[in-house]
Amino acid sequence: MIKSMTGFGKATAEIPGRKLTIEVKTLNSKQLDLALKIPGCFRQKEWEVRQLLGQRLERGKVDCYIGIETTGESSGFSLNKPLALAYHRELKLLAEELQETSADLFSQVLRMPEVIQAGREEIGEEDWPPVAEAIREAIDRADEFRAGEGKVLGNDMAARVHGILLLLEGIAPLEERRITALRERLLNEFSRLTADLPGRSPDPDRFEQELIFYLEKLDITEEKVRLKKHCDYFLETLEEPVSQGKKLGFIVQEMGREINTIGSKASEAAIQKIVVQMKDELEKIREQLGNIL
């Protein structure tokens, strides 16, 4: 089963006075690259979050965001009343001493340092299990997204490999005509050379040996057989239960090697045209593999 490295998953969790939103986004990367954006109250759980992400997502650029929203009667801030009263008392005395009657002492007090304090986001250990479960749910959804994208990519690559196999079948009749035409041309050249050199004719047996050796060097039967095996292996690997992006990349390298050899050996224009079409399909497969887990 092929999986893409592109995915997205989202989940929520409820704990007393808090609602948490977890988002997991994945993109292409050769290695596992984790980026976490989590509240300070979860810093001690960062390693555990990284383990959850790494175990399931394996590879890719992974962004994980955990947001906290205050719910219920929790105010999210507190008023330091003793400090506010102390500020007000001192400011009032100062205003009286300066005979300042227009001062808005209340607004001045509210602006003084540490009078209004942000609510602390402390979360107890007993609140962690539902949060961890929500993280796993977001990861599961991102993984499902990857599987769906991977199915589309896998179908596209399989179709292109079948296209290469179809093009390979089209080489066989061209190869037979090529070898026949090449043999006839060389025999005609040999006959002409023999006629031009009376009494000094080349050895026909030696010529036949050299001709066989030359044609064997240009034969592409082995390359065609290996290319077909590589294509079949590629299709088999697509069906494996675990996504094998790197393995598929190695198979594609071998496919490209055989296609290049066929192109270098075949001097027939029609075969060269087929080789170009094969290379085009193979390059599109390579592009798709860049997003395969």
Q: Work out whether strand 77-79 and strand 116-118 pair parallel, antiparallel, or are unpaired.
A: antiparallel
Q: Check pLDDT > 60 for residue 121.
A: no
pLDDT value at residue 132: 92
pLDDT band per the 50, 70, 90 thresholds, residue 207: low
The predicted model gives 269-280 an average pLDDT of 92
- CA 142/CA 148 separation, integer angstroms: 10
pLDDT value at residue 214: 63
Amino acid at 63: D
Ranges 39-43, 45-49, 126-130, 176-180: which has the least confidence: 176-180
12 neighbors 134 (Cβ within 8 angstroms): yes
pLDDT value at residue 202: 61
- The model carries a pTM of 0.73
pLDDT value at residue 127: 83
The predicted model gives 119-137 an average pLDDT of 80
- CA 10/CA 18 separation, integer angstroms: 17
Q: 1 Cβ partners below 8 Å, 6+ apart?
A: 147, 150, 151, 154, 239, 240, 241, 242, 243
pLDDT value at residue 198: 63
Q: Check pLDDT > 80 for residue 159.
A: yes
Angle at CA of residue 88, ends 82 and 93, nearest 5°: 130
- The percentage of residues in the chain with a pLDDT greater than 90, rounded to a whole number, is 47
pLDDT value at residue 84: 83
Q: Check pLDDT > 70 for residue 190.
A: no
Which string of b and e fits 19-50 if b means at least 16 CB within 10 Å? ebebbbbbeeeeeeeeeeebeebbeebeeebe
Q: Check pLDDT > 80 for residue 270.
A: yes
- CA 133/CA 202 separation, integer angstroms: 86
What residue has token string 């227009």? 102
pLDDT value at residue 266: 79
Closest-CA residue to 131 (of 121, 123, 143): 123
pLDDT band per the 50, 70, 90 thresholds, residue 265: confident
Question: Per residue in 211-242, pLDDT tens?
Answer: 566 656 677 888 999 999 999 999 999 999 98
Q: What is the CA radius of gyration of the chain?
A: 37
pLDDT band per the 50, 70, 90 thresholds, residue 83: confident
pLDDT value at residue 197: 62
